[in-house]
Amino acid sequence: MKLKIHQVPNASETEIVINCQVVDERLEQLIKYITQYTYTLRAKKEGKFCFVPAEKIYYIDSVDSKTFLYSAETVYNSAESLIILENKLLDSTFVRISKNCILNIAYLESVHALWNHRLEASLFTGEKLIVTRHYIESLKAKIKG
């Protein structure tokens, strides 16, 4: 694989062109990862609305019918439910890992089994999230790509 980067100072937007003979699984994963950079999520921080780039989000959690987006710097509030966010992020590096949590596997460091048929997902940040047994197969499929 060759990678060429051309800087065009007067370009109106960044354009990525992929020339290939066939789109295989690895290339599909790369395309999904790149496409994720076009997603922004509407959220609220300190009472003000903002748009958060999806690639900055580590995970999305729902507690008491409130949805939170977790990034390195802050926690945002979202007016959208997990199911709506899950559908928006379907072709990205995000995957549902429990009834109340969606994980961005780009920040996943490791996964190991727990005694109660669950998994523990460790993030590069040191945070640990529980993967419930109903969502283990979706996580495996997303990791495999």
Stronger pLDDT, 145 or 24, i.e. the higher one: 24
CB neighbourhood size of 64 (10 A): 5
Mean pLDDT for the chain?
90
Segment 98-119, tens digit of pLDDT: 999 999 999 999 999 988 888 9
SS3 (DSSP) at 134: helix
pLDDT at 10: 92
Residue 45 has pLDDT above 70, yes or no: yes
pLDDT at 25: 83
pLDDT at 38: 80
High-pLDDT (> 70) share of the chain, %: 99
pLDDT at 115: 84
Angle at 93 between CA 92 and CA 98, to 5 degrees: 110
* Average pLDDT over every residue of 26-48: 85
Q: Side-chain half-sphere of 106: how many Cα atoms within 13 Å?
A: 18
pLDDT at 144: 77
High-pLDDT (> 90) share of the chain, %: 60
How far is 45 from 50, CA to CA, in rounded Å? 7
Q: May I ask the CATH class of domain 25-144?
A: mainly beta
Residue 9 has pLDDT above 70, yes or no: yes
